[in-house]
Amino acid sequence: MPWDPIQLNDGTKIPSVAFGTWTLGNGQPARDHVDQALETGFDHIDTAQAYRNEEETGTALQDSGLAREDLYITTKYSGRDGLDVNTSIHNSVKWLGVKYVDLYLVHHPRLAVPDIPTNWQQMEKVKADGLAKSIGVSNFEIADLEILLASAKVKPVANQILFHPYVWQRQAPLLEYCKKNGIVVEAYSALTPLTRQPGGPVDKAATQIANRLSVKPEQVLLAWAKSKGVVVVTSSTKKERLEGYLSAGDIELSDDDIAAIEAAGALGARRNLVRTFLTRAIGLALVGSLALGACSYLGIDVL
């Protein structure tokens, strides 16, 4: 199936794949890459106050000639320069060159100042004022969502989180909680096993499936994420890869394919845990060795 829109709990719909501007930086290159994504066929652009490229994104949106109703724009409140939510959203719509954004997210729970309930009240006002059609959060854990939902008058429509096979087991309870509460999960960094942690177990599983289906491994990972019902936020500076990302929406993975990717993800997660443990243990051992050496040199009895 293609990247079909997903229904949100406020009655609106969100395109299920987005072009993210997180890694683009700013200036003309960022503008060019957003323009390229729009030309390739992306109609959902995801940016943030913290990325410092809302203005470049806005210029590309205006230059595209696309009607506002044919675009879906997500940005985030990131607490940039200590600005409050109201000031930040007004700056964002100005830089983006629009009257409203489709989705406005709290970028991280630690940015929900002075606290989550108060911050969310400010987000609800953004929606009430018509500056955002929908409001949501990013990087919120279950405990954060419980605090928010306890006082919210408007339920968040989405929670954008880190999501790829190596964190699947850890994030699964959060996905289940969001599903139970009608909150759509958005996935960022879905291609991490291939782009940032190459050589791990997921590489082999994704490559084997890709070879059988005559597609690319990155398309397999995007199809896996799609199978979980999430909105995928991805990015590339290469047009051919963007085209591949869009066509990944047509890839149908079997249950065995999905299970193989998740088994590889679990294996990689365990390896990462062991690697982290050993690194810390070695570090502590070195510190301890140095401390014992210093005590011996100073004539201090540590027994």
User: Which of 202-219 are b and which e, b meaning 16 or more Cβ less than 10 Å from the residue's Cβ?
Assistant: bbebbeebbeebebbbbb
Give the 3-state secondary structure of residue 58.
Answer: helix
* Residue 136 DSSP one-character state: E
Q: CA dihedral in degrees (138, 141, 143, 146; nearest 10)?
A: 50
Cα separations in angstroms, 31 against 49, 237, 241: 15, 11, 18
Length in residues, the chain: 303
Long-range contacts of 84-87 (CB under 8 A, 24+ apart): 84/122, 85/119, 85/122, 85/123, 85/125, 85/126, 86/122, 86/125, 86/126
CA nearest neighbour of 137 among 84, 97, 183: 183
77 labelled catalytic: no
Give the 3-state secondary structure of residue 215.
Answer: coil
Q: Report the Cα–Cα distance between both ends of the chain, in Å, rounded.
A: 68
CA nearest neighbour of 136 among 241, 233, 207: 233
CA nearest neighbour of 44 among 100, 94, 90, 102: 102
164 is in an annotated binding site: no
| Residues identified as active-site | 51
Annotated binding site: 107
Annotated binding site for substrate: 107
